[in-house]
Amino acid sequence: MNFQAVKAIYLFEMARTWRTIWQSIVSPVVSTSLYFVVFGSAIGSRIETVEGVSYGAFIVPGLIMLTLLTQSISNASFGIYFPKFTGTIFEILSAPVSFFEVVIGYVGAAATKALMIGLIILLTATLFVDIRIAHPLWMVGFLVLTAISFSLLGFIIGIWADSFEKLQLVPLLVVTPLVFLGGAFYSISMLPEAWQSVALANPVVYLISGFRWSFFEVSDVPVGISLAMVGLFLALCLGVIWWIFKTGYQLKK
């Protein structure tokens, strides 16, 4: 195991975070605060409670998930796409590192950054609403697993993309709609019955439901199923990455 290489890639990626601190950390905090103002205060004041939880607090887990997913994907996809774009990827390919080590470096850094932002949003939220976390360990567990899974997905997208447009395609056209339709701002049970079954096909429903359960002990689906779905998604991403590295897809000629 080339620990030095993992460390070098990880620190290189984290240095990018610090260098672009405004874009990396501050802008998600600002946009989340705006969600709170609009959904939490303006609209939320018309909605009393959802499943016994005040609406302002109810949307916090969904908001954190929304940012966690988009940040994990964009950090990891950009991290591996940019060296491909500039050509510096040659260095990674000619270094004595296994693909596994490369993934740990890039995905680890992307997940770390996404987690930092998730926690900052949680802290920001406490300024607006009263939050109590029923199962802190579960909460952290869901956060970490989700950050890693979606950073892996981001890594896959970064390898697949051969233009900046493609890099944006999946996050904008797939992930954001799934999160909005996945119950970030409402409970699935508020939907008409037919749509409830459709919603269950959305993987993000399980993430948000499980994560929300760790806060308020209310969920759309049993927490065990949520955890299983995250695990399944993680395994799926690992499988795709294993295949990419075995075949050298988009990396090696």
Binding interface with another protein (CB under 8 A): 2, 4-5, 7-9, 11-12, 15-16, 19, 86-88, 90-97, 248, 252-253
**Least Cβ distance, residue 159 to another protein (angstroms):** 16
- Tell me whether residue 46 or residue 246 sits nearer to another protein (CB atom): 246
Considering the complex, what minimum distance in angstroms separates the CB of residue 93 from another protein?
5
In angstroms, the CA 206 to CA 228 distance is: 9
- Of 82 and 180, which CB lies nearer to another protein in the complex structure? 82
Tell me how far, at minimum, the Cβ of 111 lies from another protein, in Å: 20
User: Least distance in Å: CB of 57 to another protein?
Assistant: 40
Nearer to another protein by C-beta: 25 or 140? 25
- 4/27 with CB nearer another protein: 4
C-alpha closest to that of 72 among 139, 141, 157:
157
92 vs 122, which CB is nearer to another protein?
A: 92
Of 23, 30, 131, the C-alpha closest to 71 is: 23
Q: Give me the least distance between CB of 135 and another protein, in Å please.
A: 39
